[in-house]
Structure 1
Amino acid sequence: MPQTNDPFLEIRPYHDEEVPAAIERLVSDDEFISAILKYRFPKLSGSFRWLFKPLLKQYLRAKWSKIKTVRDVQMNVASYMQSMIKNTSEGFTTSGLEKLDPNQSYLFVSNHRDIAMDPAMVNWCLHTHGFDTVRIAIGDNLLKKPCATELMKLNKSFIVKRSVKGPREMMKALGQLSAYIKHSIDEKQSVWIAQKEGRAKDGNDKTDPAILKMFYVEGRREKIPFAEYIASLRIVPVTISYENDPCDAAKANELYRKQEDGAYEKGEFEDIESIVQGIVGQKRRIHVAFGDVIGNEFETPDALAVEIDRQIYKNYHLFPSNYIAAGEDHASITDTDRVLFDSKISSLPEGVAQIVKSMYAMPTAKKSDFPIKQ
């Protein structure tokens, strides 16, 4: 049973002793079973799907019977990651991990292009280089279904309460979140969090100083100066670069509709569809770059945000798709690259196509905005 005096019970991931019961709740969840059948066997009619449910539950109980701990969950996820990378990419590379210590914990602040894949890619790099995996910050907007909460908390995710309203409730939630991040770092558990709320749908990776102010809520409570407290978190900016974004057209369509109509109303399952598309869609090449640990030289959230942005863009790996979209010639561009990119753009409505081009071109422009620090 979870401790009743646990100050982080509402938001933290599951502990080892909570894993078997969470898995049983998942397998017993009709919505979860239906979702698997829908995505795995989309052509099954409703009546046949009903017949398959007890068989799938039985299969999952047997398959997951040996999963007893958080590490067991992580090892299962790792096997899925290996096959997913093999089937949906043409190469995976990483850089910068040699500067980090596998026995140390870090607060990884990364750019955010894909809901599930970004932290998964960071975890894959860490796992394959002898580091422990991270605790993942995830917004409660993605946890509208009980089965989604179970899945995320099993996978070392902790909850960011975006939906709270009212100044007092917001401050309480921010204090709890800030304290939990520091608690994790002190427990030698690294943390992954996006540099801003929501994905950079326009390709402009920009750190929101509000996230950095949240980090410091616990530092202010402890009366520690900003720069000193930030240094204690061992922040490492991370840049994730995808040659092809499986969700690019959907993101661009959302931005286009906002431009044309002034607003965009997401469908009930749109976030889930984005997660699935990000997992199964073709990404071509992927690069994950880990930056330098940030010390105590930044006195304000704004100054810190500039440094995180600088590192993220300095380490952005430009692919042919970026150069082609920006109209730049580059030795790495092949005829196949041009054909693939042109066919992508020509298949989209004009307004959406222009946003997609801008999305891929953005990193080439932004990289030059942040000259390499001497």
Structure 2
Amino acid sequence: MGYDFEDIRSYNDDEYQQKIGDLIAVEPLMNAIQSYFPELTVDQIESKLRSFQTCTEFQADLSCGIVQRIIDTTMESFDWDGVVKLDRNKQYLLISNHRDIILDSALINYCLNGRNYDFSEIAIGSNLVGQPWVKKLVRLNKSFIVKRNVPKEEMLEASKTLSAYINYALHEKRNSIWIAQREGRAKDGNDKTNPALLKMFGLANEGDLLDYLIGMNITPVSISYELDPCDYLKVPELIQKSRGETYQKSPGEDDQHMLLGLQGNKGRVFIRFGQPVNDKVEYLRTIKNRNELLKAFAEEIDKEVYAHYKLWPTNYIAYDLFTAGTKYAGQYTEGEKAAFVNYMDQRLAQLPADEQNKHFFLSMYANPVINKEQSA
């Protein structure tokens, strides 16, 4: 069956000059770029954008330049590991935990570029690219569109098309791909791969499912932020959902989270690229039930994410406060504990009073410790 990728695909290198002309006319975009390069005039930024000949040049210079400024101004440190163990001649389906709407994928591509690896294509939800110019911009930045909020009768076809595109990008375009382990961020800090994601990968496949997934070179990536700039904003949603209530996003909420995620203090950040899980999932051939196989495959991805996740003092402190214990007291100082408690109090003071605020704030920082314990 033939699939039409035209409205979801990333742009090709040779389309850059054609597309950038439209974006230069978008004032909010030019102002946003200038906020990261205040030493440049808008005219100089326009000249810079027109000087690139390909999408790759645009990414390597402008996109990575913006990420570098975010690192310099909002992180105490940024380190990464594992990229050099990836084979430059192979393509990988990078699956990471998801904490920040924009930065997760941007940092991963920054790491790849920093070791002279090709950029990965980035999966981004259509709910985040409402305006036509934003959609054009992200596709110029090597992103492809994952359609959200599709009518029920169109859902299967949209998922099949997405599955076919991922297969096409990996095996014909020969690009690596980044996709989050689940739809939406893990707002509670509980990183779990959704088996439905793996099921979607297999929709374009007519052969053996496990062989197909192994052929995608699925590679877990762990992203560890010491601080989450949006932590307190996530608490009301966690409380409502715990009470069985439906959480309704306020207008512009995603935009607020994106902006704060870019501009807010993240402390120290570490990314670890793992290795493909291919050898670790061979034992799944004994599982004949498709859903059980997908669940077990997802759990193998999670084990790798947890194994490579870097726990910070904030995580250990939150765990001890959450459990009212001292199990990890050796992992932090009293000064670090006092600083975190002060940080938490300042964050929660910005929310309407609720006796559960502290519980859910601590849980989002403590859950990575719990997951790492359980996977050890």
Which residue is 1:249 aligned to?
232
Paired residues for 1:280-295 under 5 Å: 280-295=263-278
SS in 2 for 1:326: helix
Q: How many pairs does the alignment contain?
A: 348
Q: Distance in 2 between matches of 1:98 and 1:333?
A: 31
Structure 1 residue ranges without an equivalent (≥5): 41-54
Q: 1:210, CA displacement in angstroms?
A: 0.4
Task: Select between 295-304 and 116-125 the one with higher mean Cα deviation.
Answer: 295-304
Candidates 298, 318, 321, aligned match of 1:325:
318
**C-alpha contact 2:55 2:142 (8 A) present in aligned 1:** yes
Q: 1:269, CA displacement in angstroms?
A: 1.8
Paired residues for 1:210-229 under 5 Å: 210-220=196-206, 224-229=207-212
Paired residues for 1:32-111 under 5 Å: 32=29, 58-75=43-60, 76-111=62-97
Task: Select between 16-25 and 209-218 the one with higher mean Cα deviation.
Answer: 16-25
Q: 1:59, CA displacement in angstroms?
A: 4.8
Q: Distance in 1 between matches of 2:41 and 2:159?
A: 40
Q: Does 1:172 align with 2:157?
A: yes
Which residue is 1:46 aligned to?
none
**C-alpha contact 2:49 2:58 (8 A) present in aligned 1:** no
Q: Does 1:17 align with 2:17?
A: no
**C-alpha contact 2:3 2:161 (8 A) present in aligned 1:** no
Q: 1:204, CA displacement in angstroms?
A: 0.6
Q: 1:23, CA displacement in angstroms?
A: 2.1
Q: 1:33, CA displacement in angstroms?
A: 5.5
Q: Distance in 2 between matches of 1:132 and 1:35?
A: 26
Give the TM-score of the pair, scaled to structure 1: 0.86
Q: Does 1:124 align with 2:107?
A: no
The one-letter amino acid of 2:139's match is K
Structure 2 CA distance for partners of 1:61 and 1:97, relative to 1, 3 Å:
closer
Q: Distance in 2 between matches of 1:268 and 1:18?
A: 34
User: Considering only aligned residues, what root-mean-square deviation do their CA atoms show, in Å?
Assistant: 2.3
Q: Distance in 2 between matches of 1:161 and 1:22?
A: 22
**C-alpha contact 1:89 1:282 (8 A) present in aligned 2:** yes
The one-letter amino acid of 2:358's match is A
Which residue is 1:337 aligned to?
336
Q: Distance in 2 between matches of 1:254 and 1:149?
A: 27
**C-alpha contact 1:31 1:147 (8 A) present in aligned 2:** no
Deviations 1:203-236 (A, max 9, x none): 110111000000111123xxx2011111110000
The one-letter amino acid of 2:203's match is V
Deviations 1:114-170 (A, max 9, x none): 000111121122111221111000111111111221221111110011221133x22
Structure 2 residue ranges without an equivalent (≥5): 286-292, 321-326
Deviations 1:170-222 (A, max 9, x none): 221111111111111113200000011000001110111000000111123xx
**C-alpha contact 1:242 1:286 (8 A) present in aligned 2:** yes
Q: Does 1:358 align with 2:360?
A: no
Q: Distance in 2 between matches of 1:61 and 1:130?
A: 26
Q: Does 1:196 align with 2:196?
A: no
Q: Does 1:368 align with 2:373?
A: yes
Taking only the aligned residue pairs, the percentage that are identical comes to 39
SS in 1 for 2:314: helix
Task: Select between 125-134 and 106-115 the one with higher mean Cα deviation.
Answer: 125-134
Give the TM-score of the pair, scaled to structure 2: 0.86
Q: Distance in 1 between matches of 2:76 and 2:42?
A: 34
The one-letter amino acid of 2:234's match is K
